[in-house]
Amino acid sequence: MRTDQGPFEDGGESDLAAIGAMTQQENIDPTGVDASLRSGSLYLVATPIGNLEDITLRAVRVLREVELVLCEDTRHTGRLLNHLKIKKPLLSCHRFNERSRVKTVLNRLQSGERLALVSDAGSPGIRDPGARLIRAVWEAGYRVEPVPGPCAAVAALTASGLAADEFHFVGYLPVKSGRRAKALERLSRIRETIVIYESPHRIRKLSGELTVWFADRDLAVCRELTKRYEEVIRGTAPEIARRLTEQKPRGEYVLVVGETAKAKGNRASEANGTAPAGEIAEGDDRP
Ligand code: SAM
């Protein structure tokens, strides 16, 4: 349960000693498999998107055991490690130097080091740097292991209550008007649920666009998930637009656009074991 006294990244205090103690116990092995880190491996470690309690026991152990942590911003990750009482060398790896880090990383893996890659928040590689480095590492024959955990897209999908059997992910729409309108037009033709990251500077603009492109779909705007001012606004495009114009855009946002009525109908028919209306082939006498 989340409380307002929780360990929020934006200033709350918490003692994670219990987690640390659990993972520090020698040979803790909840899975029954050998949990020790392998030499020459890159671990992709998901970190909290707000609430600092949202980090797995395995993530903490991996961060404690690796020789080096690659991160977007050394100050940001330094604060997280401090909070976890972990002292570890950090090396920046962000979108401006990811390519040039490849050689360093491969050299270190060759000498048998275990490395972790984290982003500022959530899962590395999900609208964050990582893909280029990860590919170079596995192409060079080294082991890459995910250490899964928080991801804003998944948290928003879950909170939205909208269908998540199939979904389309958009890590930010283009900023320039022409390309943005084209992207929205293309998205409006996708029948499944859509998850879009948006910055607070453009969330009002987006709310106006919703009424044009997604007028007939259920929506959810998820703000500051897992943080003190977490908010999920559910409704139709006009309802969402009205709510968003009432408040000052602040914090981090994910928009979830529900599936089209047709996709909803098809799924309902499948669930009932009947073919969707109009999709029964001629001569097919199934009910
Ligand atoms: N790698 C991250 C992940 O796994 O979700 C995403 C990084 S991306 C650069 C940052 C965007 O994710 C934000 O602009 C926002 O759209 C979304 N985001 C991250 N944290 C969030 C939160 N606590 N609440 C709502 N959205 C969040």
pLDDT in tens, 221-258: 999 999 999 999 999 999 999 999 888 899 999 999 99
CATH topology of domain 153-265: 3.30.950
Does ligand 1 lie within 6 Å of residue 173's CB atom?
no
pLDDT of residue 267: 78
pLDDT of residue 189: 96
Per the CATH hierarchy, to which homologous superfamily does domain 17-28+35-150 belong? Tetrapyrrole methylase, N-terminal domain (3.40.1010.10)
Does ligand 1 lie within 6 Å of residue 118's CB atom?
no
**What 3-state DSSP class applies to 145?**
strand
Q: Where are the domains of the chain?
A: 17-28+35-150, 153-265
- Pocket probe for ligand 1: among 77, 123, 197, 232, the residue whose CB has the most ligand atoms within 8 Å is 197
- Pocket probe for ligand 1: among 2, 47, 49, 250, the residue whose CB has the most ligand atoms within 8 Å is 49
Could you give the CA distance from residue 76 to residue 73 in angstroms, rounded to a whole number?
A: 5
Q: pLDDT tens digit string along 30-64?
A: 555 556 899 999 999 999 999 999 999 999 999 99
Tokens of 8: 């929020």
pLDDT of residue 269: 83
Does ligand 1 lie within 6 Å of residue 226's CB atom?
yes
- Cα distances (Å, whole numbers) of residue 263 to 169, 190, 214, 273: 17, 10, 14, 15
Does ligand 1 lie within 6 Å of residue 72's CB atom?
no
Strands 114-117 and 41-45: parallel
Residue pointed to by tokens 């709310």: 207
Q: What is the DSSP secondary structure assignment for residue 165, as one 8-state letter?
A: S
Ligand 1: centre distance to CA 152 (Å):
5
Tokens of 20: 């640390």
* Residue nearest ligand 1's atom 20 by CA: 49
- Cα distances (Å, whole numbers) of residue 236 to 211, 220, 248: 8, 8, 20
- Pocket probe for ligand 1: among 196, 253, 255, 256, the residue whose CB has the most ligand atoms within 8 Å is 253
What is the maximal distance between C-alpha atoms in the chain?
A: 70
pLDDT of residue 13: 47
Residue pointed to by tokens 């029954």: 32
How does pLDDT run along the chain (287 residues), one tens digit per residue? 344 445 656 544 455 555 555 555 544 555 555 568 999 999 999 999 999 999 999 999 999 999 999 999 999 999 999 999 999 999 999 999 999 999 999 999 999 999 999 999 999 999 999 999 999 999 999 999 999 999 999 999 999 999 999 999 999 999 999 999 999 999 999 999 999 999 999 998 998 899 999 999 999 999 999 999 999 999 999 999 999 988 889 999 999 999 998 888 887 888 787 665 555 444 444 44
Q: Please answer whether residues 146 and 163 qualify as being in contact, where contact means their C-beta atoms are separated by less than 8 angstroms.
A: no
Beta bridge partners of 196: 170, 255
